[in-house]
Amino acid sequence: MSVTRRTAAELSESLASGETTSVEITRAHLDRIGEIDETVHAFLHVDEEGALAQAAAADARRAAGKTASPLDGVPVAVKDVMATEGLPTTCGSRILEGWIPPYDATVVARLRAAGLPILGKTNMDEFAMGSSTEHSAYGTTRNPWDLERIPGGSGGGSSASVAAYEAPLAVGTDTGGSIRQPGALTGTVGVKPTYGGVSRYGLVALANSLDQAGPVTRTVLDAALLHEVIGGHDPRDSTSIDQPLPDLVGAASEGASGDLTGVRIGVVKELGGEGYQDGVLTRFRESVDLMVDAGAEVVEVSCPHFVHALATYYLILPAEASSNLARFDAMRYGLRVLPEGIEAPSAEEVMRATRDAGFGEEVKRRIILGTYALSSGYYDAYYGQAQKVRTLVSRDFDAAFERADVLVSPTAPTTAFKVGEKVDDPLAMYLNDLATIPANLSGVPGISIPSGLAEEDDLPTGVQILAPALADDRVYRVGAALETLLLKQWGGPLLDRNHGLDAVEGAA
C-alpha cells in the first residue's frame, strides 16, 4: 500500500519498525501535493524545505534512540488561521497577504516539539467565515469526491488535504462547525474538543468565546493521537483548562472493540427532520441502529432552545469578530492600500482604503452586523439577549446529558453542494452549521465521523457525537466503536470508494 494511504497510527508503526523514514513519508506526501493540489487546492502554502528538514531531524532523533512523541516524524498540515513563525499566515484574506508571523501558535509549537513535520498551510474561508471555502481570497478548495463541489468550511483545506491523501493529519479550528462539517462533507474525521481543551494562543481569533482548535484525520484513533499532542493547559491562554487531558488514545482503543453495552445514546429531536437531506437522515438512522445492535440504549432527548442557536450564534460571532478584526488597519503589518486621488492621506483614510480593499464581502457583512449588535441602544436587545439564550442552550445540554451519555445527530444537514450554489445566499450558507453550532455555544466536545454515502448523490454523510464538557474521551470511545461497526459493514474505509480524483491521478 502506498505510504500516503496509511493512517498516522500505521505510519507511526512503520517508523518504529524502521520500515520507512520520516523523510520518505514526508517526501511522498509532498509529491502527492505536487501531483494533485493544483486541482484540489487544499494548500495556500507548501513548505517543502522546512518539512523535509523537520523530517530529517525526526529521523536523526530516532536513529539516536529517541522520539519526541508517538507521532514523531508523521507529517501534518496546518490551517492557515494559525500563526507559524517564518511561514506565511493569511487566514485566507488579502489583508494579511505577505504577513509572516514572528511567533508560533501554541498548537504549532506543540506540533514542532512533538516532531511532526509541517507540510504547509491549508485553505479556508476568509477569517474562518463560511462553510465552503468559497470565501477564501485565494480560490476555492475542491471536494476530492467531486471536484465540482465544495469541501465544506471554513476548514475545507484541512479536510480535503486529508481526504485526498495529501496529508495523513491536519489541524483545523471549529467556531460553529468548521472542523466537523467539512469532515462530514469529505468523508473524514473531525473533532472539536471541549472549549479550553486546546490552547487558542496564536489562533487568529474569529469569535474568541466559540473558537476551538482540533484534529482533522481519517480515523478516530489518529484524531486521538493528534489531540494528545496539541491539547492540554497553556498559561498563555487564560481560558485554557488547567487540568490534564483525559486518556483519549486509551478511549479510542477501548471503543475500537465495537462494544457499546450500557452506553446511553441520546438522539436530539431538534437536530433532524425538516431541512435535512433524505440520504443524510437514512445514513444517520443506520448508524443509530448499528449502535443499538452493539448494546447501546437509545433515548430521544429534546433541546428546545437549539432552534434559537443559529440566531444566537450570528449575533455573538459577528460581535466578537468585528472587534477582533479592528486591528487590521495597515499600520503595522499586512496589506496597506493608499486611497486614490488623495495627495497626503491621513492614517484614517489609509485604514479605510485598506479595509475596503483587503476584506471580502462576507467579512464586511459580519463586521457590520457585529458593530450594529454592540452599538449603544442595541446591545441589550442583541448581544445581551444572545448571551442569555446561550445560557439556555447550555441548560438544554445539561438536562440532555442527565438522560444520555452522548448525544448524536447528523453533522451537516446536506451533502456537499456545488461550487457557486449558495455563495450569494448567506442564509442558505449559514444553515449548514445548524447541527454543529450548539456545541460551540456551550463549549461541549464533538466528533464527526463518516456515516456512509447518501443514496441520491453518492456523496459522504457524517454523524456527530457530542459529550459533556471535559468528557472528550467519551466522543473518542463512542466514535471509535461506531467507526468499527461501520467499517465492518462497508468492508473497508469509506474513502476507498472515492473515485473523484481518478482522472487527475491518471493524468499525472
Partner 1 sequence: MNDNLLSFEDALEKFDPALGLEVHVELNTASKMFCGCPTEFGAEPNTQVCPTCLGLPGSMPVVNRRAVESAVRIGLALNCEIAEWCRFARKNYFYPDMPKNFQTSQYDEPIAFDGWTEVEVVTDDGSETFRVEIERAHMEEDTGKSLHVGTSGRIHGATHSLVDYNRAGIPLIEIVTKPVLGTRDQAPLVARAYVAQLRELLLGLGVSDVRMEQGSLRCDVNLSLAPAGSGILGTRTETKNVNSLRSVERAVRYEVQRHAAVLESGSKVLQETRHWHEDTGITTSGREKSDAEDYRYFPEPDLVPVAPSRDWVEQLRSDLPEPPREKRARLQADWGFSDLEMRDTVGAGAVVLVERTIEAGASPQAARKWWLGELARRAREDGTELTDLSVTPDDVARVQALVDEGQLNDKLARQVFDGLLAGEGSVDEIVAARGLAIVSDDSALGAAVDNAIAANPDVADKIRGGKVAAAGALIGAVMKEMRGQADAGRVRELILEKLT
Residues that bind partner 1 (CB under 8 A): 82-83, 89, 91, 96, 99, 101-103, 105, 200-205, 207-209, 235-239, 319-320, 322-323, 326-329, 331-333, 347-348, 351, 371, 374-376, 379, 383
**Torsion angle, alpha carbons of 22, 25, 30, 34, to 10:** 160
Minimum CB separation of residue 474 from partner 1 in Å reads 25
Minimum CB separation of residue 440 from partner 1 in Å reads 13
Catalytic annotation, pick one of 161, 178, 287, 322: 178
Amino acid, single-letter form, for residue 349: E
Phi and psi of 465, rounded to 5°?
-120, 125
| Cβ within 8 Å of residue 192, ≥6 positions away | 174, 177, 179, 180, 212, 214, 436, 439, 440, 445, 446, 447
* Rounded distance between C-alpha atoms, residue 167 and residue 120, angstroms: 10
Minimum CB separation of residue 110 from partner 1 in Å reads 15
* Rounded distance between C-alpha atoms, residue 71 and residue 504, angstroms: 30
When the beta carbons of 203 and 485 are compared against partner 1, the nearer one is: 203
Catalytic annotation, pick one of 69, 79, 131, 451: 79
Instruction: Let me know the angle formed at the C-alpha of 181 by 435 and 495, rounded to the nearest 5 degrees.
Output: 130
User: Cα-atom radius of gyration of the chain, to the nearest Å?
Assistant: 22
When the beta carbons of 17 and 376 are compared against partner 1, the nearer one is: 376
300: β partners: 267
Phi and psi of 374, rounded to 5°?
-95, -5
Contact status, residue 50 vs residue 21, Cβ threshold 8 Å: no
When the beta carbons of 343 and 502 are compared against partner 1, the nearer one is: 343
DSSP secondary structure, 366-380, as one string: HHHHHHHHHSTTTTI
Minimum CB separation of residue 374 from partner 1 in Å reads 4
Minimum CB separation of residue 332 from partner 1 in Å reads 7
446: β partners: 192, 466
Minimum CB separation of residue 232 from partner 1 in Å reads 16
Strand order in the sheet with 170-173: 43-46, 118-122, 76-79, 170-173, 213-217, 189-192, 446-453, 460-466, 406-410, 264-268, 297-301
H or E element that contains 78: strand 76-79
Catalytic annotation, pick one of 22, 69, 136, 154: 154
* Rounded distance between C-alpha atoms, residue 410 and residue 449, angstroms: 10
Burial (0-12, 13-18, 19+ Cβ within 10 Å), 116: buried
When the beta carbons of 199 and 448 are compared against partner 1, the nearer one is: 199
When the beta carbons of 176 and 187 are compared against partner 1, the nearer one is: 176
| Active site annotation includes 154 | yes
When the beta carbons of 253 and 371 are compared against partner 1, the nearer one is: 371
| Active site annotation includes 364 | no
When the beta carbons of 93 and 277 are compared against partner 1, the nearer one is: 93
Residues recognised as catalytic:
79, 154, 178
